[in-house]
Amino acid sequence: MYDNIERELKLLINEKVYNELLHSYDFHNPITQTNTYFDTENQDVKKQRGAVRIRTIQDKKIFTLKIRKDEYTHYEFEKEISAENINEIEDPEILNWFNQYQIPKNLHPTASFTTLRNVYAFENGELCLDKTYYKNHTDYEIE
């Protein structure tokens, strides 16, 4: 089974700080990604402190299941998919993750937004500088 433990810290910042950081590091090739999150009507995934997402970058779709381990750590399971609809996923490994973490199959979109992500890679991790466009506002975040 594919396991990836993710440790991340996120901090909302304002546009001024975003622009200062953007020009303080050697960011290359920003990526535009659209994230769509899914849950049940009863928020069964959220109740497990988890998340189910499909991230689209150009024509590539990446399924992600995150399950919270502690305040800063998640178990993260990712796999590239071809399905357009989350309920059409038939990949045995992903279905096994659903079974293992009791994720129901009747998921529907709960949120969708687009992020311009700048990444600065260093020896032990990455610094991500995000500008996220929601329906009515824009957020700036460092991760």
pLDDT of amino acid 2: 45
Percent of the chain's residues with pLDDT above 90: 75
pLDDT score, position 72 = 81
The CATH code belonging to domain 8-142 is: 2.40.320.10
Structure token digits, residue 55:
């991230």
Buried b (16+ CB within 10 A) or exposed e, 41-78: eeebbeeeebbbbbbeeeeebebbbbbeeeeeebbbbb
Q: Tell which residue, 73, 75, 72, has the closest CA to residue 64.
A: 75
The answer to whether the beta carbons of residues 76 and 4 sit under 8 Å apart is yes
pLDDT of residue 125: 85
CB-based contact 101:77 (threshold 8 Å): no
Separation of alpha carbons 26 and 79, rounded Å:
29
pTM over 0.95: no
Could you read off the pLDDT of 43-84 as tens digits, one per residue? 999 998 999 999 999 999 999 999 988 888 889 999 999 987
Q: Domain residue spans in the chain?
A: 8-142
- pLDDT of 39 higher than 50: yes
Residue 100 has a pLDDT of: 93
Mean pLDDT of 21-43: 94
**Residue range 120-140, pLDDT digits in tens:** 988 888 899 999 999 999 999
